[in-house]
Structure 1
Amino acid sequence: MLTTYTVENGHLAVRDHVRDAEALRRAVWIDLLQPSLEEEHAVQAALGIEVPTREEMQEVESSSRLYREGDSLVLTANFLHGADTGNFGSTPISFVLTATALITVRYATPKAFPVFTARCQKSPALVSSGDAVMLHLFEQIVDRLADILERISSDMDRASHNIFQRGVEDPANKRDRNLKEALLTLGQVGEVTTRASETLLGLNRIFTFVSAEKAMAVRKENQGTIKTLVRDVRSLVEYANFLNSKATFLLDAVLGIINVEQTNIIKTFTVVSVALMPPTLIASIYGMNFQHMPELEWTFGYPLALGLMVATAVLPIWFFKRKGLL
């Protein structure tokens, strides 16, 4: 889908499925969401630029993601999407900055895009120029990443509470359920944090490249925004690294607690096995089919054998309990 954004008479004009070359040239922001070949050709013919294909956007080398093509900058990075729904993933998005407009090419919709569009409806000044749109859109993406990392921190605090505080007070079955939930939470946290870090890394590379080209690509009044974005991204990278370390610690703690629980279960089975060995030996002896076994003719032979089995079972249990093994 092709959507154009233009400021007309102080108001934001949003149009879908535009094909007219003159209308495309007047647009300040052209958003291509899962574009068709026809839409790509229309933009290329109207603006005289090459729109990156999906295959080109997926290339990982830096020279294929950040480069100058004539008077245009082509910037591509992977962005986190779907963090709210749980169906999260990373998608490459390309930003083509020309002297008059910004073209975005994407195949998914991170939440920052509709939020930024709503902001533009209230403040059309955000769409004053292509570089302004790009930088303000990056600001929205950074704000969105900050919100995601804050939510992840809250999830980890809740998991930590379930592991170290409620785990001591809860019964065994509930404690096991809490540990399982903590493992699932930490798995999701690790996945989202990793993808958020990937997004931050891509943004950092974009800002470094744009800073080197800002004299030609960014208007003077917008150059201060780049410095602010660089500082914000660096702080979020540090925070994401902290969350990764915390998630690793909590994961190790959960696995350690599970190992302790398993050790206790194995220890209990070991003690029971040892306690049952002497009674089993006695029963085996008196189960042998020898012709001359004087105890078989005793009046109290049977109760005596039962008593010996009970005594030899109780004594090991008493010993292990005294030693603190039970």
Structure 2
Amino acid sequence: MLNAFVLSAGRLMQVPALTPDDLKRPEVLWVDMVDPTDEERELVQRVFRLELPEDEELLDLEESARCYMDDNGLHISSFFLHNDGEESSNVTVSFLLNEGRLLTIRQEELAVIRLFRLRARVQPGFVTTAQDILLAIYDAAVEYDADVLEEIYAKLDEVSRRVLDRTREMTDELMGEALAELAGHEDTNGKVRLDLMDTRRALSFLLRSRTLGSEQENNLREILRDLESLNNHSAFLFEKINFLMDAVMGLINLAQNKIIKIFSIASVVFLPPTLVASIYGMNFAHMPELAETWGYPAALVLMVISGIAPYWFFKRKGWL
């Protein structure tokens, strides 16, 4: 999908009918490509006389390949968080500042881009240049990451109440659910942290490129300060997740220890009766009790007493 945007009365509006002539209009500030077809990719390359990155190039993590300048302009590729409702992922968005125009290409539609388009459409003067668009998209991405981290914290608080609630017994099913939730939150938090680190790298390169005005540089530094605070919050969430993981694993170990304790006590309780039965099961000729009528009942009573005695001893010691 190929879209172009122009400023109209201070608002960023989409060009209704997109032709090669529309793309060449000098007032076009932003050309946005979402999973473009070969024809759309060829059209943009022909109109602007440049090479767009291929899909495999978007996945390159080398800083020299993700942030650089050449004859076509300034190139930046960054991770943006994408949530399809079931799981989160990092989607690479490639930016190109070319002759006062911003070109973007990505494989997925992102909530961050939708949020930026909405703001730029309803707020006059929200953006005025291609550099403003680039900074506003990164600002929206940082805000989106902050919302995701707040959501993770709220969900971790719910898990914490369930795990640490002494009035509620943690069954195997509940502990399994808690572990699955914590693993999911850890994965999402890790993707947010990767997104924040990559965004910081891209913005630092943009600051060093000297392509921004003084006010834009001040805005960029504000975004970098927000990134630093979010990095600290993400690290705190990792610690909280690890603590809850340890707590759940501790509860699982306690439950397992109770089972092992039952088997251990049962083996000790039945050991003396087994010893008595083994003694009277010997095939010796001179065992006086074997010839007596009271021998069999006496052996049974002895076995019962020898089994009750260890149980009574453990109970008195408070081990049961």
TM-score by length of 1: 0.90
Structure-2 residue corresponding to 1:244: 238
> Secondary structure of the equivalent of 1:126?
coil
What are the residue-to-residue correspondences of 1:193-212 with 2, within 5 Å?
A: 193-212=189-208
How far the C-alpha of 1:5 sits from its partner, in A, is 1.5
2:272 is equivalent to residue 278 of structure 1: yes
CA distance in 2, matches of 1:266, 1:154: 36
How far the C-alpha of 1:81 sits from its partner, in A, is 1.0
Cα pair distance change 1:227/1:7, threshold 3 Å: same
> Secondary structure of the equivalent of 2:96?
strand
Give the residue type in structure 2 aligned to 1:93: V
2:232 is equivalent to residue 234 of structure 1: no
Q: Does the 8 A contact of 1:7 with 1:124 survive in 2?
A: no
Q: Does the 8 A contact of 2:10 with 2:128 survive in 1?
A: no
Structure-2 residue corresponding to 1:70: 71
Structure-1 residue corresponding to 2:93: 93
Q: Does the 8 A contact of 1:102 with 1:134 survive in 2?
A: yes
Structure-1 residue corresponding to 2:154: 154
Structure-2 residue corresponding to 1:320: 314
How far the C-alpha of 1:123 sits from its partner, in A, is 1.8
Equivalent in 160, 168, 191 of residue 170 of structure 1 = 168
2:120 is equivalent to residue 120 of structure 1: yes
Structure 1, unmatched stretches of 5+, are: none
Q: Does the 8 A contact of 2:4 with 2:14 survive in 1?
A: yes
Give the residue type in structure 2 aligned to 1:56: E
CA distance in 2, matches of 1:188, 1:89: 12
What are the residue-to-residue correspondences of 1:1-326 with 2, within 5 Å?
A: 1-15=1-15, 18-25=18-25, 26-70=27-71, 72-82=73-83, 85-164=85-164, 166=165, 168-171=166-169, 174-213=170-209, 215=210, 217-288=211-282, 293-326=287-320
Give the residue type in structure 2 aligned to 1:101: R
Cα pair distance change 1:71/1:212, threshold 3 Å: farther
How far the C-alpha of 1:191 sits from its partner, in A, is 0.4
Post-superposition CA distance 1:79-117 (Å, at most 9, x none): 2211x6132111211111223221111112332122222
Give the residue type in structure 2 aligned to 1:179: M
> Secondary structure of the equivalent of 1:18?
coil
How far the C-alpha of 1:291 sits from its partner, in A, is 6.2
Give the residue type in structure 1 aligned to 2:196: L
CA distance in 1, matches of 2:80, 2:250: 34
Post-superposition CA distance 1:162-201 (Å, at most 9, x none): 122x1x2223xx4433322221121111101110000000
CA distance in 1, matches of 2:273, 2:21: 94
CA distance in 2, matches of 1:315, 1:113: 75
How far the C-alpha of 1:8 sits from its partner, in A, is 3.0
> Secondary structure of the equivalent of 1:125?
coil
Q: Does the 8 A contact of 1:79 with 1:91 survive in 2?
A: yes
Post-superposition CA distance 1:282-309 (Å, at most 9, x none): 2333345666654344333332222112
CA distance in 1, matches of 2:202, 2:21: 29
How far the C-alpha of 1:320 sits from its partner, in A, is 2.0
> Secondary structure of the equivalent of 2:76?
strand
Give the residue type in structure 2 aligned to 1:29: W
Q: Does the 8 A contact of 2:269 with 2:310 survive in 1?
A: yes
Cα pair distance change 1:220/1:42, threshold 3 Å: farther
Greater CA deviation, 1-10 or 235-244?
1-10
TM-score by length of 2: 0.91
RMSD value over aligned CA atoms? 2.2
CA distance in 1, matches of 2:15, 2:292: 105
Greater CA deviation, 6-15 or 234-243?
6-15
Post-superposition CA distance 1:6-31 (Å, at most 9, x none): 22355543247834144354421111
Cα pair distance change 1:146/1:70, threshold 3 Å: same
Give the residue type in structure 1 aligned to 2:2: L
Greater CA deviation, 191-200 or 114-123?
114-123
> Secondary structure of the equivalent of 1:249?
helix
Greater CA deviation, 311-320 or 22-31?
22-31
